[in-house]
Amino acid sequence: MKSAFFFIAILLVSATQSDAQQERKMKKPVFCGYKYKDTAIVRRHFEKQLAFLRINDGDTVVDIGSSSGAFTGCINVIAEFKKAHFILVDIDSNCLNQAKVADMIAYYEGIRGRPFNNSISLVVNTVDSLWLPLNHYKKIWLFNTLHEIPDKAGMIRQVSAVMQSGGELLIAELLATEKKKMHNGCNKPLMSDEEMKTLMAAAGFDFIDVAINPLAVKKIKNPYYLYRFMKR
């Protein structure tokens, strides 16, 4: 009888552990992108970048190549501006969809400890269109995105078409070096600083300034440049 009771107890414990494991698994974030574990880590990685971005209350920011919006989520963890609106744009609907963006927001609001002050919307674009209104936006980002696009000049023309004159285009990219010309993650070729500035000038953008390696990374094989360009 004791053996039977002990066996039943083991089954109950096993079932409880299994339920707990399943619950933890269900709570695991499913959005695409980095998943930093606390505010201190987010601040270390993004504080200098946030300062460079110069976001003000009421701004609308378009994040092209956003995936599930993790960069925007991290910025909102440490930001103090209010009523900004972020438009996430990506061609990959597997990563940019309501469920995964909601999951990203819930995750980073949990890290922040309170809801974001700002709103986020989604646009799934196509190869030949950003599906955004023309001559409309004053601030657009492309973070770790441009090197993945085969027709870079075409993409920048599309970006220019939806921007107002005097608007800021912020581009973050790892740049090629003599020893390391390919991206570690996707194995696609990286651009040089000269190539970046030439591409942008041809599309009607003036170089304004750049932050070099504004990251909390001790060793980096390719320099990380965060550029600011202005549409003429």
Phi, psi torsion values for 4, nearest 5 degrees? -65, -45
**Residue 17: per-residue pLDDT:** 38
Classify domain 2-231 by CATH number.
3.40.50.150
**Residue 183: per-residue pLDDT:** 85
**Residue 178: per-residue pLDDT:** 84
Measured between alpha carbons, how far is 191 from 155 in angstroms, rounded to an integer? 15
Contact 232, 172 (CB under 8 A): no
Q: Which residue has the higher pLDDT, 14 or 65?
A: 65
**Residue 185: per-residue pLDDT:** 76
**Residue 215: per-residue pLDDT:** 78
Helix residue ranges, H only, the chain: 2-27, 39-53, 70-78, 98-112, 152-162, 193-202
pLDDT tens figures, 211-227:
998 876 666 788 999 99
Instruction: Give residue 163's pLDDT band: very low, low, confident or very high (50, 70, 90).
Output: very high
SS3 (DSSP) at 12: helix
Measured between alpha carbons, how far is 62 from 74 in angstroms, rounded to an integer? 15
Residue 119 is given by DSSP the state E
Residue 224 tokens, joined: 């990380």
Report how far Cα 108 is from the mean position of its chain's Cα atoms: 13
pLDDT at 24 over 50: no
Q: Which residue has the higher pLDDT, 111 or 19?
A: 111
| Average of per-residue pLDDT across 166-183 | 92
Tell me which H or E stretch contains 164.
strand 163-174
**Residue 10: per-residue pLDDT:** 36
Write 21-29 long-range contacts (CB < 8 A, 24+): 29/103, 29/104, 29/107
Measured between alpha carbons, how far is 181 from 82 in angstroms, rounded to an integer? 40
pLDDT at 55 over 50: yes
Q: Provide the residue ranges of all domains of the chain, joining segments of one domain with +.
A: 2-231
**Residue 218: per-residue pLDDT:** 61
Residue 134 is given by DSSP the state T
pLDDT tens figures, 93-122:
999 999 999 999 999 999 999 999 999 999
